[in-house]
Amino acid sequence: MKTKLNYTGRKSFPIYRYLACLAGIVLLILGACEAPANPTYTVSFDVNGGDAASAPASLTVSSGSLIT
């Protein structure tokens, strides 16, 4: 099975998928470190006009701290 790699990376593997994966890893690490009784995490990606390449991603945790 041959896989063709796209070196621009935007069509085959968009940046928001990478950011979502990274946010999931961060949430897993935070959950393993803190382990609260009732964890509530809010992940919000601010995508300007669908342009995910230049959109800033903000990760808001239940404690109110902002991770950019």
H helix or E strand, kind and range, residue 53: none
Please work out, in degrees rounded to the nearest 5, the angle formed at the alpha carbon of residue 24 by the alpha carbons of 21 and 26: 110
Question: Higher model confidence: residue 26 or residue 61?
Answer: 26
The reply to whether 20 falls in a domain is: yes
Residue 4 lies in a domain: no
pLDDT digits (tens, 9 = 90+) for 2-33: 666 555 545 556 777 788 888 888 877 777 66
43 within some domain: yes
Whether 25 is in a domain gets the answer yes
Q: pLDDT, tens digit, for every residue of 29-59? A: 777 665 555 555 555 555 555 554 444 455 4
Amino acid (one-letter) located at 58: S
Looking at the whole model, is its pTM more than 0.85?
no
Does 5 fall in a domain? Answer: no
CB atoms within 10 A of CB 57: 19
Range of the domain at 63: 15-67
Say how many Å lie between the first and final Cα of the chain, rounded.
38
Specify the pLDDT at position 60: 47
| Phi, psi dihedrals of residue 59, rounded to the nearest 5° | -115, 115
Into how many domains does the chain fold?
1
If one counts every other C-beta atom within 10 angstroms of the C-beta of residue 65, the result is: 8
